[in-house]
Amino acid sequence: MRKVKVPTLETERLCLRMWNKKDAPDLFEYAKNPNVGPWAGWKPHRDVAESRMIIEAVFLANTTWAITELKTGRVVGSVALEDDPYRENINSRELGYSLSEDCWGKGYMTEAVGRVLWYAFSLLNIDIVMIRTAENNVRSQRVIEKSGFTYEGTLRYAYRIYDGSVRNVRCYSLLREDYMKAISGGGHVQKER
């Protein structure tokens, strides 16, 4: 298995760090919830062993951070920068995330996304970051819009999730030049801490 090293990034309340196998119980705690995984198209985890396998096979093999609370150290979510499946020969990435339901509405994901965008645009010099979300996932759409992304359109019947249902997805993107203008001009995307 290829292991991708990710740098540790901090925000006011969160630490984004590399996943490790010991995080499996925390991942299972939020990933077993039927209100979390289906928004991202994945099935709720059955047990800690499945969560450990996901950490090893998916999270550690990609640019995926564990989102932890600074105060408690508890893993409450994940955020990833992956290859953009739609843009070939462009310096682009796709952003994806999930968050424990007990953390919804606290601004954690907006905080984490802001830090990852800073990393992508300021340190990796990525030209464009794209993100997709289920058409009916209003909470995720709010995070995306607060983070400065531009709505590009809806892909109808974009993918089939684990239960057989088919989802429409809303597609968004953020250009580095727009991000840099926003942070230098006090725009709505988050500045470096």
Taking the C-alpha atoms of residue 106 and residue 62, their distance in angstroms, rounded to an integer, is 27
Q: How far is CA 108 from CA 27, 30, 60, 150, 159, in A?
A: 16, 15, 22, 21, 27
What is the tally of structural domains in the chain?
1
HSE, CB side, 13 Å, CA atoms: give it for residue 27. Answer: 25
Confidence band for 165, pLDDT divided at 50, 70 and 90: confident
Is pLDDT at 139 greater than 90 in this prediction? yes
**In a domain? residue 1:** no
Q: What is the DSSP letter of 43?
A: P
**In a domain? residue 192:** no
Rounded (5°) CA angle 155-80-175: 60
Residue 121: CATH number of its domain: 3.40.630.30
**In a domain? residue 191:** no
Is pLDDT at 26 greater than 90 in this prediction? yes
**In a domain? residue 193:** no
**In a domain? residue 190:** no
Is pLDDT at 164 greater than 50 in this prediction? yes
**In a domain? residue 92:** yes
Prediction pTM value: 0.91
Rg (CA), the chain: 16
Nearest to 85 by CA among 182, 184, 169: 169
Q: Report helix, strand or coil for 159.
A: strand
Q: Which range of residues forms the domain containing residue 114?
A: 9-184
